[in-house]
Amino acid sequence: KALAQTSLAFRTLHDPSSLVSEHEARAFVRVAAPCLTPDLLAGEITRLAASHPKEVSVETIGASFLGKDIRMLSIGHGPQSILLWSQMHGDEPSATPALLDLADFMARNRSQPGIARILEAFTLRMIPMLNPDGALGYQRRNAQGIDINRDALMLTTPEGRLLKSIRDRFSPILGFNLHDQSRRVTVGDSGILSSISLLAVAGDAAGTITPGRLRAKRVASRIVSTVSPFIPGGIARYDEDWNPRAFGDNITAWGTPVVLIESGAFPAGGGFAELTRLNFVALFSILEGLSRNDLAEVSPDVYDGLLRNRADAFADVAITGASILEPRSGKWFE
């Protein structure tokens, strides 16, 4: 039985389909992403730490504006930190369960050589829900009515100050900013809805290609090759315009290159569970490649060749052939 489990773990390192099957069968979090309230998440984090007390540590790193605890999970003991945060927008939950699923998967299979290599190379620091107040109301902004992702300069929000403090405390070599976007965004003019959109975030208005941003592009390219079979044609490149107030842009400028992953349209026949699964598969594949050879064989050209997001191709409601009354004249026109 132990041999069979080791064999399965080995196959999952290189076979995204096996990773999908593993997640379908053994995902740690069974609560649907939109239903994962701050209190339910706290219970899941407690359960995770109890299941793997030697591998997973939990730290309450601060509190939200309304006093909700914000927790960080850590796994691994490597010298290089990687920071992952989700749900800084309270109504963008798809990746939140994936972080706990990822920690559980690696802790369960820690003796497998490929996973042991990840845990020896890196310490993963995960903030599954940066904006618990927003999550509780299923709204984008925090309880102050501020978009945390536009608070990188003023640092008016306690959540924003907390994220910057963690970045400064650990100086991660890579950051993952995990979001949801509109389910109506398309991949360029293809007419295909974008299930995943990616951005290797620039650290200045010129879009300078630093070694760190080049690594971020290779990471994005690896995501494309890993998840494309499950969402054919459904991966786009996010808007690359420099945003001087956004956290991803500034964290990159502060020395931690950021990869933005936006979960969008539901895969055919699927829903939030499939978006969570795509995040789990993508993140593990990245970690495996980084620990093996820093994704040396991956070309940034794959990412550069992605079509851009297009947000105006679909509408929720379309009214055609209607007549409108001009009230002053009493005339109708089409």
Give residue-wise pLDDT tens across range 271-302.
999 999 999 999 999 999 999 999 999 999 99
Give the per-residue pLDDT at 226: 97
pLDDT of 62 over the 90 cut: yes
Interval 28-55 mean pLDDT: 98
Position of tokens 């936006």?
A: 262
Give the per-residue pLDDT at 316: 78
Interval 92-117 mean pLDDT: 97
pLDDT tens per residue, range 225-268: 999 999 999 999 999 899 999 999 999 999 999 999 999 999 99
pLDDT band at 313 (very low <50, low <70, confident <90, very high): confident
> Percentage of residues in the chain with pLDDT exceeding 70?
96
pLDDT tens per residue, range 160-210: 999 999 999 999 999 999 999 999 999 999 999 999 999 999 999 999 999
Residue 295 to residue 219: CA distance in whole angstroms: 7
Residue 334 to residue 318: CA distance in whole angstroms: 15
pLDDT band at 7 (very low <50, low <70, confident <90, very high): very low
pLDDT of 9 over the 70 cut: no
pLDDT band at 8 (very low <50, low <70, confident <90, very high): low
Residue 312 to residue 305: CA distance in whole angstroms: 21
pLDDT of 139 over the 60 cut: yes
State both tokens at 265.
Answer: 């349209």
Q: What is the mean pLDDT of the chain?
A: 95
Residue 99 to residue 73: CA distance in whole angstroms: 9
Residue 334 to residue 104: CA distance in whole angstroms: 59
For residues 235 and 228, is the Cβ–Cβ distance under 8 A?
Answer: yes
Residue 98 to residue 275: CA distance in whole angstroms: 9
DSSP assignment of 255-302 equals T--EEEEEE-SPPTT--HHHHHHHHHHHHHHHHHHHHHHTTTT--THH
pLDDT band at 3 (very low <50, low <70, confident <90, very high): very low
For residues 286 and 223, is the Cβ–Cβ distance under 8 A?
Answer: yes
Residue 153: partners with Cβ closer than 8 Å, 6 or more residues away: 244, 245, 250
Give the per-residue pLDDT at 305: 97
pLDDT tens per residue, range 68-91: 999 999 999 999 999 999 999 999
pLDDT band at 14 (very low <50, low <70, confident <90, very high): low
pLDDT tens per residue, range 184-197: 999 999 999 999 99
DSSP assignment of 145-182 equals S--GGG-TTT--SHHHHHHHHHHHHH--SEEEEEEE--
Q: Which residue, among 36, 12, 34, has the nearest Cα to 25 in the 3D structure? A: 12
